[in-house]
Amino acid sequence: MTENLDKQFMQRAIALALRGKGYVSPNPLVGAVIVRDEEIIGSGYHARYGDDHAEVVALDNASESVRGATLYCNLEPCCHTDKQTPPCAQRLIAEGISRVVIASLDPNPKVDGRGVEMLKAAGIEVETGLMHDYNLVINQNYFHFVKTGKPRVVLKIAQSVDGRISRSMDGQTWLTGRESVRLAHEWRSEFDAVLVGAGTINSDDPLLNVREFDGRDPGKVILSGNLNLNSSCKIFANAADSKTDVLVLTSDKTDAAKRESLSAKNIKVIPVQETQPGRLACTDILDTLAKANINSVLVEGGSQIFSHFVQEDAFDEIRLFISPIILGKGIAGIDAPDITQKRLHLVSEEVIGNDILLIYHP
């Protein structure tokens, strides 16, 4: 089969994989297509965490025998049993697949090339690396978490032309347009958790759920060094009915009675170390979230939280919306006198409605 056809079928596999966005984490996005005589005879994708893997779905959906056919998959087939799911590599061997084209090896230590070795040992032709770079992009949360053991942290900041995110600390200021709001809700569905500080909870009273996009709600993480939280806020009132966890990370020196009061509302209160009174250590925050199997975090504010993560170099990406408005005075998105100069790399820029979206990497 020609290289162009191989790329065409891998593109189809990746397009299928993207249908799982917002539903499969902490698993990766994976799609698969089975081809014979340049025609797709089976396809599938991993639709939800705990469901069948993409290769199995494609095999089950095949319109005819797959013996001698080629399978395209954007991630190496697994070779271990997990969550009662049998190894995909064994199933491919049993079904008689003769060639497998893979975008990326799976960095999971349980796989990490072993799936390819199993296929080759059975006499199956295996090729890797086709569209690997693109697969790294769509699965960057997964690859980052597996390789570093820490969640991938993205700061989402919306500001005015003059660099303000709000008029004051006491109230919410809407800056971006409807298109940007919808995109931000889509992002929420793709991350394991949304993180904000106590100030945002007390002043904005947000739900931190997904409303403008059809996707799953993320977990909610609130940082509060001293537990000065308004317990009547919606996020606490709705915690008992929430489909996802509400985690409050606080200083390990806070009063035990305060912790117990929140815990009684079906909220998980987790003490972490301080770097100074009332200020939580980002390394401990990320370690705590990793232990909770959270592999990606969308940080939504406010200013003190953004500044804290930047100051401790605890971020992997900044998504910055700039709205066509001048506030004149107000709160800066990142504002801490002891932050050292940091040069970022502009990855992309895009017009979203009337706003500009800039994406930066450290």
User: At 76, is the pLDDT very low, low, confident or very high (cuts 50, 70, 90)?
Assistant: very high
Residues 72 and 21 in one domain: yes
Of the CA atoms within 13 Å of residue 177, those in its CB half-sphere come to 12
Pairing of strands 125-128, 70-75: unpaired
The pLDDT value given to residue 163: 95
pLDDT band at 139 (very low <50, low <70, confident <90, very high): very high
Q: What is the pLDDT of residue 359?
A: 98
Q: What's the Cα-to-Cα distance from 150 to each of 219, 220, 254, 262, rounded to whole Å?
A: 16, 17, 25, 26
From 100, 127, 142, the end of a domain falls on 142
Q: What gap in Å lies between CA 137 and CA 212, rounded to an integer?
A: 24
Domain ranges, residue 290: 149-361
| 198 and 299 within one domain | yes
Q: Which helix (H) or strand (E) is 13 found in, with range?
A: helix 3-17
| pLDDT per residue as tens digits for the range 192-244 | 999 999 999 999 999 999 998 888 899 999 999 999 999 889 998 888 778 78
> Which among 270, 261, 303, 302 is positioned nearest to 288, based on CA atoms?
270
Backbone angles phi, psi at 268, to 5 degrees: -90, 115
What does the pLDDT read at residue 84?
Answer: 60
Question: In the chain, how many domains are there?
Answer: 2
Domain end: 123, 142, 161, which one?
Answer: 142
Using DSSP, state whether 275 is helix, strand or coil. strand
What value does the mean pLDDT take over residues 153-176? 90
149's tokens: 């053991």
Q: Which amino acid is at 283?
A: T
- Per-residue pLDDT at 1: 67
Same domain membership, residue 35 and residue 90 = yes
Instruction: Tell whether 227 and 117 lie within a shared domain.
Output: no
In a shared domain, residues 126 and 211: no
Least confident of 44-58, 298-312, 327-341: 327-341
Give yes or no: residues 251 and 354 share one domain.
yes
Asked whether residue 270 falls in the same domain as residue 341, the answer is yes
Spatial separation of the C-alpha atoms in residues 172 and 166, rounded to whole Å:
7
Q: Report whether pLDDT(50) > 60.
A: yes
pLDDT at 27: 93
CA distances 44 to 17, 19, 27, 29, 130, Å, are 8, 10, 16, 12, 19
- Smallest CA-to-CA distance from 331 within 297, 302, 308 is with 302
* DSSP characters over 276-312: ETTEE-HHHHHHHHHHTT--EEEE---HHHHHHHHHT
Query: Which of 88, 115, 142 represents a domain boundary (last residue)?
Result: 142
Q: Are residues 31 and 156 in the same domain?
A: no
| pLDDT for 182 beyond 70 | yes
Q: What integer pLDDT is reported at residue 83 of this predicted model?
A: 57
Q: In the predicted model, what is the mean pLDDT of residues 6-27?
A: 95
Structure tokens at 275: 């770097």
- The predicted pLDDT at position 24 comes to 92
Query: How large is the average pLDDT for residues 288-294?
Result: 96
Residue 90 pLDDT level (bands cut at 50, 70, 90): very high
User: What integer is the mean pLDDT of 267-277?
Assistant: 91
Does 335 score more than 70 pLDDT? Answer: yes
With cut-offs at 50, 70 and 90, classify the pLDDT of residue 285. very high
Q: What pLDDT digit, counting tens, does each position of 96-134 carry?
A: 999 999 999 999 999 999 999 999 999 999 999 999 999
CATH of the domain at 272: 3.40.430.10
Catalytic status, residue 55: yes
Q: Which of 3, 38, 55, 179 is catalytic?
A: 55
Q: Are 323 and 159 in contact (CB under 8 A)?
A: yes
Q: Is the pLDDT of residue 282 over 60?
A: yes
Q: What is the distance between the terminal CA atoms of the chain, rounded to a whole angstrom?
A: 41
Same-domain pairing of 116 and 88 = yes
Q: What is the CATH number of the domain that holds 129?
A: 3.40.140.10
> What's the confidence (pLDDT) of residue 82?
64
Q: Per 3-state DSSP, what percentage of the chain is helix, strand, and coil (rounded to 5)? A: 30, 25, 45
341 or 35: which leads in pLDDT: 35
| Whether residue 164 sits in one domain with residue 118 | no
Please check the confidence at residue 268 and state whether its pLDDT lies above 70. Answer: yes
Mean pLDDT of 259-283: 90
pLDDT band for position 85 (50/70/90)?
low
Cα angle 185, 187, 191; round to 5: 120
Same domain, 162 and 109: no
From 186-200, 266-280, 297-311, the region with the lowest mean pLDDT? 266-280
| Closest C-alpha to 58, from 47, 22, 49 | 47
Q: Which of 350-355's residues contact partners 24+ apart within 8 Å by CB, and which partners?
A: 352/176, 352/177, 352/179, 352/180, 352/183, 352/321, 353/176, 353/177, 353/178, 353/179, 353/180, 354/177, 354/323, 354/324, 355/158, 355/176, 355/177, 355/179, 355/180, 355/321, 355/322, 355/323, 355/324
Amino acid at 192: D
Q: Are residues 178 and 94 both part of a single domain?
A: no
